[in-house]
A = this chain, B = another copy of it.
Amino acid sequence: MRKGVMRPGHIQLRVMDMDEAVIHYRDRLGLIETDRDDSGRVYLKGWTELDAFSVVLRPADEPGMDFMGFKVVSTEAMNQLKQELVDFGCPVEVIPAGELNQCGERVRFEAPTGHMFELYADKEQTGKWGVQPNNPDAWPEELKGMRAQRFDHCLLYGDDLDGALDLFVNVLGFQLSEEVVDTESGVRVAQFISCSMKAHDLAWVRHPEKNKFHHASFYLETWGDVLRAADLISMHDMSLDIGPTRHGLTHGQTIYFFDPSGNRSEVFCGGDYTYPDHPVVTWDADKLGKAIFYHDRVLNERFLSVLT
């Protein structure tokens, strides 16, 4: 049952060369740079996102994800969920308002897979970028690169998928929308969870190490935009992982590539919708190739092993 968590609201990524990273996320993905702070972090957002930012790039010596944040519907809901996290036995830390520019207090917690997440209820609403708030036009003409519309979800790799699922479903009110299960052992190899109509707001693949990052995903409008993204990747000699293609899981249309620090990015469009009464969509582990890459029907080695 939904408990007030609305959506993925931000991700903080570690990058090793900020100038190159900004070119990747601003000029190639087409996110809007909205702010920088004293610690050298750069803030960006997709043009359709109303809140002040959704991507934070932090200068670091190694790539990866610092944390992913979810916006909840109210401070009351956030505080209620904080208590439930504590009751569940989950370590919780409160990050004061202002630690991220234009963002209120955040409740940070560590999932059983070792990944850091946050809940927050307040972030300044600066509105869609490039269109007027009243009588809004369809889109702004000045977008760059892939014209990514929003930060959409993450795929993480980690060990304790069952613990993470228990936490997100039973404490935070997410729904298991899709999964890959080994039919013999019954082990869930991958799990996709949703707090909305989207087929996934967050996903994990089972992996022996804790706290690994597979990709951050950004939403495009059309399959033609996926082609445009593929062309830009080639035109700018960016590092392609795979695509354009379709996923079996969620059926979205997609392309994967790497930022200059080695963090994987995805842009995608389409995909199934989910409601709370929908049964879990299950893929068999022996069809994992088709589940991930619907056309190739085999995984490339990179997809399973290149993590940050």
The residues of A with any CB-CB pair to B shorter than 8 Å are 1-2, 6-7, 48, 50, 71, 73, 125, 133-139, 141, 145, 196-198, 221-224, 227, 230-235, 240, 243-246, 248, 251, 253, 255, 270, 272-273, 275-279, 281-284, 287, 290-291, 294-297
Contact = CB atoms under 8 A, between A and B. Distances in A.
A212 B270 CA distance: 34
Contacts of A291: 135
Given A234-B295, A235-B141, A277 B6 contact: yes
Nearest to A247: B138
A2 B224 CA distance: 35
A297 B248 contact: no
Copies in the complex: 4
A230 B234 CA distance: 21
Nearest to A227: B223
Contacts of A278: 50
14 contacts: A1-B73, A6-B277, A48-B272, A50-B279, A73-B277, A133-B279, A134-B283, A136-B248, A136-B281, A138-B231, A197-B197, A223-B224, A234-B297, A240-B295
A271 B145 CA distance: 21
Nearest to A272: B48
A258 to B, nearest CB: 14
Contacts of A279: 50, 125, 133
Given A135-B284, A222-B224, A281-B136, A240 B275 contact: no
Given A6-B276, A134-B284, A230-B245, 18 more contacts: A7-B275, A50-B278, A134-B281, A134-B283, A135-B282, A135-B283, A135-B290, A136-B248, A136-B251, A138-B294, A139-B231, A141-B235, A196-B197, A231-B295, A233-B295, A234-B294, A240-B296, A243-B295
A198 B281 CA distance: 22
Contacts of A133: 279, 281-282
Contacts of A7: 275
A244 B293 CA distance: 12
Contacts of A48: 272-273
A297 B145 CA distance: 20
Contacts of A297: 234, 240
A231 B246 contact: yes
Nearest to A140: B235
A251 to B, nearest CB: 5
Given A7-B275, A134-B282, A284-B134, A230 B295 contact: yes
Contact of A221 (B270, B287, B290): B270
B253 A227 contact: yes
A1 B125 CA distance: 19
Contacts of A273: 48
